[in-house]
Every structure is written in C-alpha cells, then in structure tokens.
C-alpha cells in the first residue's frame, strides 16, 4: 500500500513540474557554428547551448521554430517567436526589439571570391556581383562602404542563407559572397573558392526579444552575467566547443601596443589634415591683397589640392589599419584567442599599409619646399613628379594619362613649374569628369625649338567653347561656378611669365583643348 502511495505522489509531482514549465518560442536558422539544425534536426550551436542552460535553470520549455533569417526577424517583431539568438545590435533594430545588455560575441564580415575573379582590395569590387544575406547588418555595411569609397558593384544578390550564396559562387553566378567570420569554422570550401583579406566593420551579437518580453530579456541578462563571471560555465564551454580555432595562441602584450599605436596614428593624421586645411583657408583669405600675394594664394590652393590627394591615397590604408585594429581589439575584449598565422597576417598587413603611408608623404613633401634659385632638372624628373602626385587621382576617375617626351635638361624653378602643370591637368580632369566620357585621356608631350622648351598638355574633352576662349585666364573668371576662384589659370600665366621667363598659351585642337608652356632657352 505504501509503495503505491509513493508511486502516485511521484507521478503527481512530476506532472506538476512539467505543467509549471513556461513555453518559450525561439527562432532558429542555419548559421553554423553559432546556431543551426544538425543532420538529426536537433537545435545546435553556440547560442543554443547557452540558451538551453538558461532554460534549465529558469524552468522553461524551449520550442525551436526553424525559419530563414529575414522571416525570423519578422516573426520576432510580430510576437510569433519570443527570442531570436545571434542578432547584431544596431540602433535601428533597437526600435523593433529588446536586446540583452550583455554582449555575447563580436563578429565581422569576410569576403570569399571565385578563384577566377581577381579581388585583392575593396576597390576591386567595382562592377562585381556580390551575394549577401538578406536583411542583415553585413548587407548594410558593404553597401555603405561601397558608397563611402565611390565603388559601384554591378549588383547585390540577396540570399536566404549562406549555403545558397556559396552555391551561386561555385556556379559562377556571383563573383563573391560576404559571410560572418565564424562560417568557415564549420564548413569546407571547394578549391575554386578563395578567402580574401577584405573585412568589414565589427558588430556585437546578442539575444533579441519581442518588445513585450522584457521579463525574458532580464532573466537572460542575469544568467549571462553569472556565466561570464565563472570560467567553468557553459559560456566558456560553448566558446571552446564552437567558435575557438583548433590551434590556440596567447595574444602577446606587444599586439596591444600595436593596436594602440595604430589608433593614435590614425587620430593624429586626421587632426593634422583638419588643422592644415583650416590654416590654408585662413591664410588664403588674408593674402588676397595684391598680385604678389595672389601668387602665394595660388600656391596655398595647390597645397589644398595636394592635401586632398594625400587624403585620398591615405583613405584605403587607414581603413585597413582601422579594421585590423578593431578586429584585434574585439578579440582582446572578448578574450578570444587568435592563431599565430592570423597574427602574422595582421602585422604583415599593418606594416605594408604603414609603408604605403610613409611613401605617400615622401612623394608629396618636396612639392611644398620653396625654390629660392633655379636648378637644372631633367624633363623626365618633372613628369615622374606629376605621375606621383596625380597618377592615382586620374586612374580612379578612369582618365588615361599619356606621356610623349624626349628627355632633356632645363634650368628652372621646379616647384613653380610643377604647380603650373598640376593646375592645367587638374582643370582638364574636372572637365573630363563633368563630360563623363568613356575613353577620357590627358596627354603630356614635350618638344624643343631653336629658342624654347615647350610642354604641351591636351585633353579630349571637346575643347573650350568659342564664346569663352578669350575670357579664360583673366582674373576671377571661372567655369566652375562656386567651386572655382578664377585664379588658378590667371596665376599660372603670371608664374610662367614673371618667374619662369616664358609664356602660357592655349587653343582648341581636334577633340579637345591644348595648353602649351613655352620656356625661353
């Protein structure tokens, strides 16, 4: 009789316990190793292990509901699911969902390409077909980066999951696919798929909740804090099991100094550029008094253009250094471990970009040195300087720079002659950009006569309209509206005449305009 009573009581308490469990609906999509349904249709992954442990402590019954990523977010917003793991926190999403205060892991996007498609830097994405996961922070990040660097991909192909994106890549229907940094930990790729060095801005991944479930958000936050405080908790077990590389390494202290130094360099360079631009603007206003002072103003305007060129050439190296610094910093903050070969690649990349920055400074610094007396130079030296200062700018605007010259020696003021040449080429560049020609060219050629050295600069921009042919070169006349001062060509004429002992003339030829600098022998 006693045995029967014990059995009945045991059954009663078991039924009561199960009945008291709160049912929680959780969205799950295929994004291994963070969250996915395995081959046995069992919920698995980093976020699942942690949430299962929390459910056990809170007496929840979790109902995992499979969905594709974009559908998961809609279901979360509509209340069809209560929790969505593995959601990148953004201010826009904060308006729609609740998030844990505690961050779970950091992530960033990595670009994979087909081996037959050469993609070495972000600028190689021009006119490429890019596969991105629909309605994700990755999709938003790459589109914003493309706009920032004035890059125009052929198309963005939105896919429901990464598997679909890699199938399109294997079938050559896209040129590259953007995925999170964890995807490669649990997937093997075909030999035709290559990982690039292109990464995009980091993001913080959290659990997201329907706006009505603040109780769940609070409970999950409390448990995550406890897990993080205990090195033997499920949080660290899941990290080791799912998202820690197979070959761990300890991050040396000098890496932290490299990260800090890189950030300081970036901030310092940014401040210097801003202050220098302000100084140029202020001095330019003070120097508009007479012809001699206007020559100085013209030099400062050229300096401003040089700063813009420096900033353009620095932007990509600084962006790469910033991304690498963010990646390493995120790993340090989350106590993640990095492979030795990854550290080596990071440092190699930083060193390469710093070398590029230093070379750029050397290329531009000589332009700002005043010439106190004439010196003898080869014409090839002058052309090389032009290529260093304007080569990238012309290339990035799809303008072909053609040179035709015989190398001979002249005695002149090199920087003032260089200023005139750069001013003429920049004017031609602005015309060609405005005309948006398919095959824009600027041709620099040299020739001698019995009594002069001559430098000719021609473009194929259609020539100077007849009604302004005689007006250009006069003081304050400009065709650039508010962007122009009307001093560039005017001061070039004065510099050539009064300082270089020559004349500057122009005429229309064939399909464009030609400016000829003639220096007396």
Q: What is the pLDDT of residues 307-349, one digit of tens each?
A: 655 655 565 566 667 666 766 766 666 656 666 676 667 676 6
Write down the pLDDT at residue 270: 77
Write down the pLDDT at residue 415: 82
Q: How long, in residues, is the chain?
A: 521
CA distance 101 to 208: 10
Confidence of residue 209 (pLDDT cuts 50, 70, 90): very high
Average pLDDT over residues 188-199: 88
Query: Which distant-in-sequence residues (6+ apart) come within 8 Å of 401 by Cβ?
Result: 387, 390, 391, 394, 395, 441, 442, 444
104 or 320, which is more confident? 104
Query: Which distant-in-sequence residues (6+ apart) come within 8 Å of 59 by Cβ?
Result: 17, 20, 21, 22
Write down the pLDDT at residue 414: 87
CA distance 375 to 477: 33
139 or 481, which is more confident? 139
4 or 122, which is more confident? 122
Average pLDDT over residues 179-198: 85
182 or 212, which is more confident? 212
Write down the pLDDT at residue 188: 83
Q: Is residue 18 pLDDT above 50, yes or no? A: no
Mark which of 138, 170, 201 sits at the end of a domain: 201
pLDDT (tens digit, 9 = 90+) per residue, 418-474? 888 988 998 899 899 988 888 999 999 999 998 899 999 999 999 988 888 777 766
Answer whether residue 407 is part of any domain. yes
User: In this structure, are 337 and 304 located in the same domain?
Assistant: yes
Range among 203-207, 232-236, 269-273 rated most confident: 232-236
User: In this structure, are 385 and 350 located in the same domain?
Assistant: no
CA distance 172 to 427: 42
Distance (Å) of CA 226 to CA 87, 221, 223, 330: 21, 9, 5, 21
Answer whether residue 8 is part of any domain. no
Write down the pLDDT at residue 9: 52
pLDDT (tens digit, 9 = 90+) per residue, 142-162? 888 888 888 999 999 999 888
User: In this structure, are 296 and 358 located in the same domain?
Assistant: yes
The DSSP element (H or E) to which 450 belongs, if any, is none
Answer whether residue 10 is part of any domain. no
Answer whether residue 380 is part of any domain. yes
pLDDT (tens digit, 9 = 90+) per residue, 249-301? 455 666 667 777 778 877 887 787 788 777 777 766 665 455 555 555 555 55
User: In this structure, are 218 and 194 located in the same domain?
Assistant: no
Answer whether residue 1 is part of any domain. no
Answer whether residue 5 is part of any domain. no
Q: Please give the structure tokens belonging to residue 502.
A: 């020559």
User: In this structure, are 416 and 331 located in the same domain?
Assistant: no
Query: In this structure, are residues 349 and 324 in contact, taking their beta carbons and an 8 Å threshold?
Result: yes
Write down the pLDDT at residue 470: 78
Answer whether residue 29 is part of any domain. yes
User: In this structure, are 348 and 384 located in the same domain?
Assistant: no
Write down the pLDDT at residue 15: 45
Answer whether residue 446 is part of any domain. yes
Average pLDDT over residues 401-406: 90
CA distance 280 to 99: 47
Q: Is residue 99 pLDDT above 90, yes or no? A: yes
Domain enclosing residue 60, as ranges? 16-105+205-243
Half-sphere exposure of 157 (CA within 13 A, CB side): 22
CA distance 38 to 161: 15
Write down the pLDDT at residue 357: 65
202 or 439, which is more confident? 439
User: In this structure, are 353 and 257 located in the same domain?
Assistant: yes
CA distance 256 to 449: 62
User: In this structure, are 117 and 76 located in the same domain?
Assistant: no
User: In this structure, are 32 and 58 located in the same domain?
Assistant: yes
CA distance 36 to 48: 8
User: In this structure, are 374 and 506 located in the same domain?
Assistant: yes
Mark which of 215, 243, 271 sits at the end of a domain: 243
Average pLDDT over residues 492-510: 88
User: In this structure, are 264 and 145 located in the same domain?
Assistant: no
Q: Please give the structure tokens belonging to residue 1.
A: 């009789």
CA distance 24 to 401: 65
* pLDDT > 70: percent of the chain: 75
Q: What is the CATH number of the domain that holds 160?
A: 3.40.190.10
Q: How many domains, the chain?
A: 4
User: In this structure, are 169 and 65 located in the same domain?
Assistant: no
The average confidence (pLDDT) of the chain is 81
Dmax (CA) for the chain in angstroms is: 130
Q: Is residue 389 pLDDT above 60, yes or no? A: yes
Average pLDDT over residues 496-513: 89
Write down the pLDDT at residue 467: 82
List helix spans (H) across 107-250. 137-148, 162-170, 214-229, 234-238
Query: In this structure, are residues 121 and 145 in contact, taking their beta carbons and an 8 Å threshold?
Result: no
Q: Which of 42, 49, 25 shows the shortest CA–CA distance to 216?
A: 25
Mark which of 367, 394, 423 sits at the end of a domain: 367
Query: Which distant-in-sequence residues (6+ apart) come within 8 Å of 18 by Cβ?
Result: none
Measured in whole angstroms, how far is the alpha carbon of residue 415 from the centre of its chain?
34
CA distance 9 to 55: 26
Query: Which distant-in-sequence residues (6+ apart) come within 8 Å of 133 by Cβ?
Result: 69, 139, 158, 159, 160, 161, 162, 165, 178, 179
């Amino acid at each position: 009789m006693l045995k029967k009573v014990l059995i009945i009581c045991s059954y009663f308490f078991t039924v009561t316990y199960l009945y008291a469990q709160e049912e929680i609906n959780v969205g799950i999509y295929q994004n291994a190793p963070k969250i996915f349904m395995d081959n046995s249709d069992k919920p698995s992954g980093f976020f699942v292990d942690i949430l299962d442990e929390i459910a056990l402590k809170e007496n929840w019954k979790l109902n995992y509901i499979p969905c594709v990523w974009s559908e998961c977010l809609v279901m979360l917003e509509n209340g069809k699911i209560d929790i969505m793991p593995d959601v990148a926190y953004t201010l826009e999403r904060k308006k729609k969902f609740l998030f844990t205060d505690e961050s779970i892991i950091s992530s960033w996007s990595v670009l994979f390409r087909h081996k037959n498609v050469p993609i070495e830097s972000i600028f190689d994405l021009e006119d490429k077909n890019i596969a991105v996961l629909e309605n994700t922070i990755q999709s938003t990040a790459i589109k914003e980066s493309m706009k920032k660097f004035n890059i125009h991909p052929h198309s963005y192909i939105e896919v429901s999951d990464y598997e679909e994106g890699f199938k399109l890549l294997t079938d050559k229907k896209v040129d590259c696919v953007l995925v999170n940094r964890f995807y490669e930990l649990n997937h093997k790729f075909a030999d035709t798929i290559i990982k690039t060095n292109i990464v995009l801005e980091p993001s913080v991944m959290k659990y997201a909740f329907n706006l009505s479930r603040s109780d769940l958000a609070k409970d999950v936050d409390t448990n995550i804090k406890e897990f993080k405080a205990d090195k033997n908790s499920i949080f660290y077990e899941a990290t080791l099991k799912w998202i820690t590389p197979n070959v761990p390494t300890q991050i040396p202290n000098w890496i932290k100094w490299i990260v800090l130094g890189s950030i300081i360099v970036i901030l310092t360079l940014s401040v210097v550029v801003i202050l220098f631009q302000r100084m140029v603007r202020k001095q330019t206003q003070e120097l508009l008094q007479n012809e001699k002072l206007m020559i100085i103003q013209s030099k400062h305007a050229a300096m401003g253009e040089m700063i813009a060129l420096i900033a353009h050439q620095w932007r990509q190296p600084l962006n790469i250094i910033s991304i690498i610094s963010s990646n390493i910093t995120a790993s340090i903050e989350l106590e993640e471990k990095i492979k030795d070969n990854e550290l080596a690649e990071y440092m190699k990349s930083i060193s390469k970009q710093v070398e590029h920055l230093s070379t750029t400074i050397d290329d531009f610094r000589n332009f700002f040195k005043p010439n106190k007396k004439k010196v003898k130079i080869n014409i090839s030296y002058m052309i090389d300087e032009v290529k260093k200062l304007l080569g990238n700018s012309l290339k990035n605007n799809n303008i072909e720079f053609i040179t035709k010259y015989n190398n001979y020696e002249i005695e002149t003021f090199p920087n003032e002659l260089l200023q005139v040449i750069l001013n003429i080429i920049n004017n031609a560049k602005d015309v060609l950009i405005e005309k948006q020609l398919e095959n824009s060219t600027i041709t620099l050629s040299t020739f001698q006569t019995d009594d002069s050295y001559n430098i000719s600069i021609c473009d194929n921009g259609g020539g100077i309209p007849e009604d302004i042919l005689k007006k250009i070169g006069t003081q304050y006349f400009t065709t650039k509206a508010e962007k122009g001062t009307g001093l560039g060509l005017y001061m070039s004429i004065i510099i050539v005449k009064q300082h270089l002992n020559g004349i500057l003339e122009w005429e229309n030829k064939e399909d464009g305009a030609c400016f000829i600098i003639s220096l007396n022998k």
